[in-house]
């Protein structure tokens, strides 16, 4: 159900903080609504392609709040918005506060959810299971007592930066220093390293009502010892949706009410341990994996347009989620993530054929020939995300195999840069609860 007519937004001016490929989605959706778009980013058009697509573009840093406030006034912005990146959320909130413009999340809400330690404490308050912490002082002083392997993270970083997996006590001190170097708050957290089924939940709040918009099972690449595993595939709908509705929906409603969230989108990540969804992280923003694309393809809801409407009007409008949201997708979807090894991209082959495949309804390419990859174990290793859907699971698996066979990416020496993907033999046609993940550990 449409709640705000497109002509209500016609001619309004939206300043967007960040020019990444994902922000191109916001530019395009805003323009479909008749909105005049302005993008600012310190980086040039190669790293910030949304600057090319917008009507106006500037080079004010997304972290320069006084400069952004001045820019917003100069361009006569009716709204200011950002998405996808944790680092731009608080600056955007500050700009909106200075100009008395709507932003979907308050400073307090962002601070509570950006910090992994605070988020887990909030979950415990509302009875939501979380991965346990390892005491940081004890880990520093007596690393030999830790339950190895251990994962060490910055408390408030993003895109998997600064994360290490330690197999021995000797690796702990360097991992802590690495995590602290990526933490704005100067904090790190440590947890038991868990190998178990991984789930990703996309949630939406509209007028204070919480809705599960989608839920995926994530398949992780573990080829890089010592670094955080990276996702290589998202399968929708998750086979753990019943678990969410039976055990977590009420506690999460309580958490949302406690935070005072009224409108917006967020995601949570977790493992399934002994049949229980156990969380470890939350992002109060549009997801970098663009989970709104499967949601739009399956249910017709455009969450990006809803955010644009809110930034310009204070109404999270466009669809009534009470009737439109349905995480139990009628068709199976896969977000196929192409991961690359470090090196210089020399040649990309088959991309046009991938985009033309009948099962592919969207692509998000992040890398070009000549790009240099140096950050193993981070989301900077993502070459592209490919969004597929088919009438049934068998046809989807066939499409995934065909798409993977079409694509080749080599370095300047001619060697393949593509990391391994998940085995199609490991994906049962039934998406069976007892299958898919080869390991199902309980917590140590």
* pLDDT tens digits, one per residue of 236-272: 999 999 999 999 999 999 999 999 999 999 999 999 9
Q: How many CB atoms lie within 10 A of CB 431?
A: 16
Which of 52, 84, 103 terminates a domain? The answer is 103
> What is the sign of the dihedral through the CA atoms of 435, 339, 201 and 110?
positive
> What's residue 378's pLDDT?
85
Decide if 112 is inside a domain.
no
- Report how many domains make up the chain: 3
Q: Are residues 81 and 140 in the same domain?
A: no
Q: Are residues 390 and 271 in the same domain?
A: yes
Q: Are residues 204 and 184 in the same domain?
A: no
Range(s) of the domain holding residue 349: 197-426
Decide if 73 is inside a domain.
yes
Q: Are residues 216 and 325 in the same domain?
A: yes
Decide if 433 is inside a domain.
no
Q: Are residues 174 and 266 in the same domain?
A: no
> What's residue 442's pLDDT?
31
Q: Are residues 30 and 170 in the same domain?
A: no
Q: Are residues 363 and 252 in the same domain?
A: yes
Decide if 442 is inside a domain.
no
Q: Specify the length of the chain in residues.
A: 444
Query: Rounded to whole angstroms, how far apart are CA atoms 380 and 182?
Result: 15
Decide if 241 is inside a domain.
yes
Which of 168, 192, 216 terminates a domain? The answer is 192
Of 318, 361, 301, 317, nearest in space to 336 by CA:
361
From residue 441, alpha-carbon distances to 175, 220, 271, 280, 438 in Å are 24, 15, 10, 16, 10
Q: Are residues 165 and 218 in the same domain?
A: no
22: domain CATH number?
A: 3.40.50.20
Query: Rounded to whole angstroms, how far apart are CA atoms 419 and 114?
Result: 30
> What's residue 60's pLDDT?
98
Decide if 299 is inside a domain.
yes
Q: Which residue has the tokens 């969004």?
A: 387
Which of 103, 123, 151 terminates a domain? The answer is 103
Q: Are residues 206 and 298 in the same domain?
A: yes
Q: Are residues 244 and 313 in the same domain?
A: yes
Most distant CA pair in the chain, distance: 64
> What's residue 426's pLDDT?
64
Per-residue pLDDT of the chain (444 residues; tens, 9 = 90+): 344 445 679 999 999 999 999 999 999 999 999 999 999 999 999 999 999 999 999 999 999 999 999 999 999 999 999 999 999 999 999 999 999 999 999 999 999 999 999 999 999 999 999 999 999 999 999 999 999 999 999 998 777 789 999 999 999 999 999 999 999 889 999 999 999 999 999 999 999 999 999 999 999 988 888 888 899 999 999 999 999 999 999 999 999 999 999 999 999 999 999 999 999 999 999 999 999 999 999 999 999 999 999 999 999 999 999 999 999 999 999 999 999 999 999 999 999 999 999 999 999 999 999 999 998 888 889 999 999 999 999 999 999 999 999 999 999 999 999 998 887 776 754 554 334 333 333 333
> What's residue 112's pLDDT?
96
From residue 281, alpha-carbon distances to 266, 271, 399, 432 in Å are 11, 11, 31, 25
- Coil, strand or helix: which one is 35? coil
207: domain CATH number?
A: 3.30.470.20
Decide if 441 is inside a domain.
no
% of the chain residues with pLDDT over 70? 94
DSSP letters spanning 165-224: EESSGGGHHHHHHHHHHT-SSS-EEEEE---SEEEEEEEEEETTEEEEEEEEEEEEE--S
Query: Rounded to whole angstroms, how far apart are CA atoms 201 and 290?
Result: 12
Q: Are residues 255 and 404 in the same domain?
A: yes
Q: Are residues 137 and 246 in the same domain?
A: no
142: domain CATH number?
A: 3.30.1490.20
Asked if 395 and 359 touch (Cβ cutoff 8 Å), the reply is yes
* pLDDT tens digits, one per residue of 301-351: 999 999 999 999 999 999 999 999 999 999 999 999 999 999 999 999 999
127: left (phi over 0), alpha (psi -120 to 50) or beta: left
Asked if 190 and 152 touch (Cβ cutoff 8 Å), the reply is yes
Of 333, 441, 355, 372, nearest in space to 406 by CA:
355
Decide if 121 is inside a domain.
no
């Amino acid at each position: 159900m449409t709640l705000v007519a497109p002509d209500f937004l016609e001619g309004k001016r939206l300043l967007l903080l960040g020019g990444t490929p994902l922000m191109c989605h916001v530019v395009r959706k805003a323009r479909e609504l008749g909105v005049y778009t302005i993008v600012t980013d310190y980086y040039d058009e190669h790293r910030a392609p949304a600057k090319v697509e917008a009507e106006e573009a500037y080079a004010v840093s997304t972290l320069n709040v006084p400069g952004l406030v001045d820019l917003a006034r100069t361009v006569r912005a009716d709204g200011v918005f950002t998405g996808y990146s944790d680092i731009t959320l608080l600056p955007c909130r500050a700009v909106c506060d200075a100009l008395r413009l709507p932003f979907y999340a308050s400073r307090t809400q962002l601070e509570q959810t950006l910090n992994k330690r605070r988020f887990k404490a909030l979950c415990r308050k509302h009875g939501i299971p979380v991965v346990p912490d390892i005491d940081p002082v004890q880990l520093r002083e007596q690393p030999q007592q830790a339950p190895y392997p251990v994962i060490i993270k910055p408390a408030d970083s993003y895109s998997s930066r600064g994360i290490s997996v330690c197999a021995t006590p000797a690796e702990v001190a360097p991992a802590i220093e690495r995590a602290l170097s990526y933490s704005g708050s100067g904090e790190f957290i440590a947890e038991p390293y868990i190998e178990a089924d991984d789930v990703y939940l996309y949630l939406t709040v509209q007028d204070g009502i919480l809705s599960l918009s989608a839920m995926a099972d994530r398949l992780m690449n573990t080829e890089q010892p010592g670094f955080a595993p990276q996702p290589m595939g998202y399968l929708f709908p998750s086979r753990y949706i019943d678990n969410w509705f039976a055990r977590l929906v009420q506690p999460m409603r309580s958490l949302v009410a406690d935070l005072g969230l009224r409108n917006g989108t967020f995601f949570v990540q977790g493992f399934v341990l002994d049949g229980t969804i156990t969380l470890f992280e939350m992002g109060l923003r549009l997801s970098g994996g663009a989970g709104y694309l499967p949601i739009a393809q399956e249910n017709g809801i455009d969450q990006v347009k809803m955010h644009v409407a809110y930034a310009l009007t204070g109404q999270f409008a466009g669809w009534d989620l009470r009737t439109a949201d349905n995480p139990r997708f009628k068709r199976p979807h896969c977000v196929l993530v192409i991961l690359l090894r470090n090196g210089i991209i020399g040649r990309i082959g088959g991309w046009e054929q991938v985009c033309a495949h009948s099962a592919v309804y969207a692509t998000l390419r992040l890398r070009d020939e000549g790009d240099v990859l140096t950050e193993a174990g981070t989301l900077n290793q993502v070459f592209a995300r490919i969004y597929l859907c088919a009438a049934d699971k068998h046809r989807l698996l066939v499409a995934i195999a065909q798409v993977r066979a079409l694509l080749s990416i080599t370095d300047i020496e001619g060697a393949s840069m593509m990391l391994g993907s998940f085995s199609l033999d490991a994906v049962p046609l039934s998406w069976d609860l007892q299958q898919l993940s080869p390991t199902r550990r309980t917590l140590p």
